[in-house]
């Protein structure tokens, strides 16, 4: 099955700086890569996703890039704010499945003032 690795496990940035979280996946046929944000005590919520026919996608201060050749994708958050502090999970959809996702182990982002 699919294997997703995520780095770093913790990340601390100052408010206004950028944050980058990286993930690699194992199955070259995977074609859907979502990112979820989980605030403390809350449920995970989708913040952005990308499909394998696109190299980059942006939504205001967040962007995701995909390198299919290297089998890795990254989340970029610019101009970080305290409300960006949360745990972020990347995931990959297993090829040939309806919506079966394999998640990374998460990155705890702390934005300091």
* Residues within the interface to another protein (CB under 8 A): 1, 6, 9, 32, 34, 42-46, 49, 89, 93, 98-106
Show the CA angle centred on residue 79, arms to residues 75 and 83, nearest 5°: 80
Instruction: Measure the CA dihedral 98/64/106/40, to 10°.
Output: -100
Least Å distance, CB 16 to another protein, is 29
Least Å distance, CB 1 to another protein, is 8
Q: What values do phi and psi take at 68, rounded to 5?
A: -70, -35
For residues 42 and 61, which CB has a smaller minimum distance to another protein in the complex? 42
Which SS3 state, helix, strand or coil, does residue 101 take? strand
For residues 10 and 28, which CB has a smaller minimum distance to another protein in the complex? 10
For residues 29 and 113, which CB has a smaller minimum distance to another protein in the complex? 29
Least Å distance, CB 17 to another protein, is 25
Which residue in 30, 33, 8 sits closest to 21, CA to CA?
A: 8
């Amino acid at each position: 099955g699919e294997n997703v690795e995520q780095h770093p496990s913790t990340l601390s940035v100052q408010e206004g700086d950028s944050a980058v979280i990286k993930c690699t996946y194992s199955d070259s046929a995977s074609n859907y890569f979502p990112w979820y944000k989980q605030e403390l005590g809350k449920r995970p919520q989708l913040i952005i996703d990308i499909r394998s026919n696109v190299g980059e996608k942006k939504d205001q201060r967040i962007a995701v890039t995909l390198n299919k050749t290297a089998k890795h994708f990254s989340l970029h958050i610019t101009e970080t704010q305290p409300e960006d502090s949360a745990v972020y999970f990347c995931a990959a959809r297993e090829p040939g499945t309806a919506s079966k996702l394999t998640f990374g182990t998460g990155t705890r982002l702390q934005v300091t003032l």
